[in-house]
Amino acid sequence: MNAMRIQRTMGWIGAATMIAACVAAPAQAAPRYWVGTTGIWHEVANWDGSESLPGASDDVAITNAGANVTLTDSVSVLSLTLSQTLTFTNWTTCLNAANDVLITNGGVMTCAGPFTNAPDMSNRVYIICDNLTIAAGGTIDVKAKGYAQGNPKGNGPGGGTFTVYGPGASHGGYGTRCAYNNSYTVPYDSTNMPSIPGSGGVPGVGLGSHGGGAVWIEASGVVTVNGTINADSGVPGSHASGGSGGAIYVRCDRFAGSNGLLSAIGTTVYAGFGGMGGGGRIAVDYNPASQTAPVPTVGFNVNSYGDPGTLFFPDTSLFSETISSVNGAVHGVTNWATASLIIRNSAIRFEAPNMQLDVSGNVLIDSGKLSLGGDLAGTDWGLYRYSAIPGPALTVGGNLVLTNSGALYVYGAATTDPTNQYGALVDVEGDMILNSGAWVYPRSDITNGGAPIFRMSNLSVATNAGFNANGAGCWRESGLGAGCHANWQTYYSGGGSHGGMGIPGCPLGATPQPRNVYGALYGSSNAPVHAGSGGGGSPWSFGGAGGGVIRIEADATVNLNGTLTANGQDQTLTGSDSEGGGSGGSIYVRCHRFAGTTAGAVLSANGGSGSADDTRSAAGGGGRIAVWRVYDCHAGTAPRANGGTCLAGAAGDGTVVWGWLPPAGTVMLLK
């Protein structure tokens, strides 16, 4: 009896289990296919069966040749496969897929646009899913789908205002000024969660270009980019100003891809007198613990003819020891230790003011640009970047080589004692080699003058290569020897002073007075470490910036066949004829042996010149040069720290010191 009950009970349990299994696991529904051509997602007739719209339990395929689907409101699906075109309209429209979104070869996701300021941001591509894959040949394309160009002001928070011509729009980076106006618009939006589209330019002879659009992706799993996400700005017309790059935000557990590209570039085509738009913003916020080898080979580009935009990553998982096709200012990374580093076909700036880049082996900058620091910026007739305290550092355990037009920018931070402190550090255990066409650009703090220092075993500088700190010191009316500001049309600007006296100015008085307001002389002739000072400005424009600082400490040989230059900025580069030139900066070299086979090697810290036909202008004084060595076998060079010239005369020359260091020897005490 008991056995029969047990058998009967087990039979009921088995039957119930079978019924439950049938209820819990229904047959897989067939995919829903788009059968129309051009049409709206929410029209039932465009879908197979024509009985209902796809829903949250449906796998959806838009693969019908020539299909162009418009999504006007948010939808939820199980998955989406796209090989044709899907266009998002309205800012809040979201594609929500519980599983995967696949954009195959030929598939395009885009949005309507461009749009104006009123009433709000109108359109973007907005995806929430588990995994997103953009196959080779697939794209999310919102190029020029952001804020529209406009007149008298470009649409968007970074749009410029038309005067004679207009400045380029800003977003992640500054747009450039136009030929007849020194105004800049201010960058906007978040670096780690960018969401606002690029801003529009203003017309010139032709129309300005539109800003790049916005893409927002939230994936709980993997985002794989083998294709393209494009949020570039458009191309401006003749003498018009450019729009800025757009915004791309990707949040995922893991990021992957091969030969893919995320791009939000500003204006890269020079259109004449109008300004060029700045780069946009890209952020890829993955889980560092989920990133696995190999490193994705995906490019990131927020470059522009003006100021590059920003790239955000939570760590360095997406960087390999060879960086190629990465262009922009990196945020989110404050330190990176790697065995070796090659920068090739990339222009990358590690912007954190405390950035510590440690390379245990060699560094090669080949047809690329590496920049350190530069998180702060000042604008007048140019864009002057510098670093917040404490300033960046690059340490290299092997050699540092620049070749094929390679460039290294190092932005200094403020210091309280420039003799015993530095604003940034480049410390090379081995040799630093600058092949022909390669340049190093030391940049000082624009008001304090704090500057980088370069240390190495040997330094080799080829012809047509060198260190360029021209106009990279204190900017207009800043520095210990700043030129005075001219208050009105009949008064005179002053030139900056340093090692030599700048042409004095006359800022006050009911009638023109004698030029008697001088900038002060300062710094050491034997150990010059101060940046040059800026020239005086006027009601219409700014004075020239002072020359920067080139400070080199080599344990062994400095082999100079190229150029070390730290000239002050000419007044003629600042916008009108009534301002003062900046003073020359500093060149300070200490080494065991100073060598070179080229008699024409250049060491220059000249003052900036003033106008040759306007008495209100002024020239800057010369800077300071000092070379200290134990042995000298150079073929011959003539260092120059000359004062600049202007209609009012020549400014004072700076100082040049050739010093001898005592050779290492033995001290014997005899009793």
* Tens-digit pLDDT profile for residues 524-541: 999 999 999 999 987 777
pTM of the predicted model, to two decimals?
0.92
Please determine, for residue 271, whether its predicted confidence score (pLDDT) is greater than 80: no
Q: What is the mean pLDDT of residues 10-23?
A: 38
CA contacts within 13 A on the Cβ side of 175:
45
Length of the chain: 671
Q: Using the predicted structure, report yes or no on whether residue 2 has a pLDDT greater than 60.
A: no
pLDDT at residue 488 above 70? Answer: no
Q: Regarding beta strands 376-379 and 383-386, do their DSSP bridges make them parallel or antiparallel, or are they unpaired? A: antiparallel
**Residues 535 and 438: beta-carbon distance below 8 Å:** no
Q: Band of the pLDDT at 303, cuts 50, 70, 90? A: very high
Report the 10 Å Cβ neighbour count for 430. 17
Q: What is the DSSP letter of 34?
A: B
Q: pLDDT: is 318 or 239 the higher one?
A: 318
Question: How open is the CA angle 370-414-398, to the nearest 5 degrees?
Answer: 35
**What is the pLDDT averaged over residues 431-456?**
97
State the DSSP H helix or E strand holding residue 359, giving kind and residue range, or none if neither.
Answer: strand 356-359
Residue 542 pLDDT class (50, 70, 90 cuts): confident
Buried residues in 582-617 as b, exposed as e (16+ CB within 10 A): bbbbbbbbbbbbbbbebeebbbbbbbbbbbeebbbb
**The two structure tokens encoding residue 631:** 């042995």
Nearest Cα residue to 116 out of 173, 199, 44: 199
% pLDDT > 90, the chain: 74
Q: Can you list the positions of beta strands (E) in 7-130?
A: 32-33, 38-40, 59-62, 68-71, 75-77, 79-82, 85-88, 95-97, 100-103, 108-111, 125-129
What is the pLDDT averaged over residues 344-368? 96
More reliable by pLDDT, 51 or 331: 331
Instruction: Indicate whether 555 pLDDT > 90.
Output: yes
**How far apart, in whole angstroms, are the C-alpha atoms of residue 304 and residue 327?**
9
Poorest-pLDDT segment among 33-37, 104-108, 112-116, 178-182: 178-182
pLDDT-based confidence at 161, cuts 50/70/90? confident
- For residues 461 and 348, give the distance between their C-alpha atoms in angstroms, rounded to a whole number: 23
Q: What percent of the chain has pLDDT over 70?
A: 91
Which is nearest to 54 in space by CA: 68, 37, 67, 35? 35
Strand order in the sheet with 59-62: 32-33, 59-62, 79-82, 100-103, 131-134, 222-225, 254-256
pLDDT at 356 over 60: yes
* Among 249, 243, 211, 244, residue whose Cα is nearest residue 229: 249
The pLDDT tens digits for 215-267 are 999 999 999 999 999 999 999 988 889 999 999 999 999 999 999 999 999 98
Predicted local confidence at residue 491, as pLDDT = 73
pLDDT for the residue numbered 1: 40
Question: Which tops the pLDDT comparison, 464 or 574?
Answer: 464
Question: What is the average per-residue pLDDT within 291-317?
Answer: 93
Mean pLDDT, residues 410-430 taken together: 95
Q: Which residues contact 483 (CB under 8 A, 6 or more apart)?
A: 477, 493, 494, 495, 496, 497, 502, 505, 519, 533, 534, 535, 536, 543, 580, 581, 618, 620
Q: How far apart are CA 144 and CA 235, in angstroms?
A: 9
Torsion sign (Cα): 303, 309, 313, 316 = positive
Residue 286 pLDDT: 98
The reported pLDDT for the residue numbered 117 is 86
The whole-number average pLDDT for the span 65-88 is: 98
Who's near 512: CB < 8 A, 6+ residues apart? 490, 491, 492, 506
Tell whether the model's pLDDT for residue 421 goes beyond 80: yes
Half-sphere exposure of 495 (CA within 13 A, CB side): 45
Supply the mean pLDDT for the chain: 90
> How far apart are alpha carbons 421 and 417 in whole angstroms?
6
